[in-house]
Amino acid sequence: MKDIKACVFDAYGTLFDFNSAVARHRGEIGPQADRLAQMWRDKQIGYTWWRSVMGKYAPFWQVTGEALAHCLRTCGLPHEGALHEKLMQAYLVLDPFSEVRSTLDALHAAEMPLAILSNGNPEMLEAVVRNTRLADYFNALLSVDTVKVFKPDPRVYALVTDHFSVAPTDVCFLSSNGWDAHGAATFGFRTLWVNRAGAAPEGLPGTPAGELRSLGDLPTMILP
Contacts of 70 (CB under 8 A, 6+ apart): 43, 79
**For the chain, what percentages of helix, strand and coil (3-state, to nearest 5) are there?**
50, 15, 35
Q: In 3-state terms, what secondary structure has residue 122?
A: helix
Q: What beta strand segments (E) does 69-218 contain?
A: 95-96, 114-118, 140-143, 171-175, 190-194, 210-212
Phi first, then psi: give them for residue 7, nearest 5 degrees.
-115, 125
**In terms of Cα–Cα distance, which of 45, 39, 53, 64 is closest to 175?**
45
Are the C-beta atoms of residues 163 and 2 closer than 8 Å to each other?
no
Secondary structure element (H or E) that encloses residue 8, with its range:
strand 6-9
Instruction: Establish whether 136 is a catalytic residue.
Output: no
Question: Which one from 3, 10, 105, 145 is the annotated catalytic residue?
Answer: 10
Angle between helices 178-187 and 154-164 (to 10 degrees): 60
Are the C-beta atoms of residues 184 and 163 closer than 8 Å to each other?
no
Quote the CA–CA distance of 168 and 158 in Å, as a whole number.
8
**In terms of Cα–Cα distance, which of 51, 67, 70 is closest to 18?**
67
Catalytic residues: 10
